[in-house]
């Protein structure tokens, strides 16, 4: 029985040592690769930055156009019926 336990401990030790010796260089290279990719993504090129800025400005321009249209619509409503400006309740006219 003691021989079996010793054999299990030795096999576990050999497999663990072999796994570390084989997988450690692979994991180090993978870590360096992932680090390089992360740095490349963080360091944006000027062209990418300009493209991103153009997209943001385009989005802001579109939103500003919508606000202008809504303001024009609201002003047109107010000028046609001044009661809308005072907040007076609107009652249907009776004939």
d(CA 44, CA 21): 37
Mean pLDDT across the chain, nearest whole number? Answer: 85
| Confidence class for position 15, pLDDT limits 50, 70, 90 | very high
Q: Region 79-94: what's the mean pLDDT?
A: 66
Residue 23 inside a domain? The answer is no
Counted domains in the chain: 1
For residues 42 and 13, the model is more confident at: 13
d(CA 17, CA 94): 96
Tokens 């609107």 identify what position? Answer: 90
In this predicted structure, what is the pLDDT of residue 56? 95
Domain containing 55 equals: 44-78
> What share of the chain has pLDDT > 90, as a percent?
44
Residue 62 inside a domain? The answer is yes
Residue 84 inside a domain? The answer is no
Residue 68 inside a domain? The answer is yes
Residue 64 inside a domain? The answer is yes
Residue 30 inside a domain? The answer is no
Where does residue 45 fall: left (phi above 0), alpha (psi -120 to 50 degrees), or beta otherwise? beta
d(CA 10, CA 82): 94
**From the centroid of its chain, how far is CA 89?**
46
pLDDT 10s digits, 58-86: 999 999 999 999 999 988 888 887 666 66
């Amino acid at each position: 029985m003691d021989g079996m336990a010793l054999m299990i401990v030795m096999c576990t030790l050999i497999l663990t040592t072999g796994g570390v010796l084989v997988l450690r260089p692979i994991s180090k290279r993978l870590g360096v690769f992932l680090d390089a990719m992360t740095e490349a993504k963080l360091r944006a090129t000027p062209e990418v930055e300009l493209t991103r800025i153009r997209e943001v400005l385009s989005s802001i321009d579109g939103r500003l156009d919508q606000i202008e249209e809504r303001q024009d619509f609201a002003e047109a409503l107010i000028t046609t019926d001044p009661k809308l400006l005072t907040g007076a309740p609107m009652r249907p006219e009776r004939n």
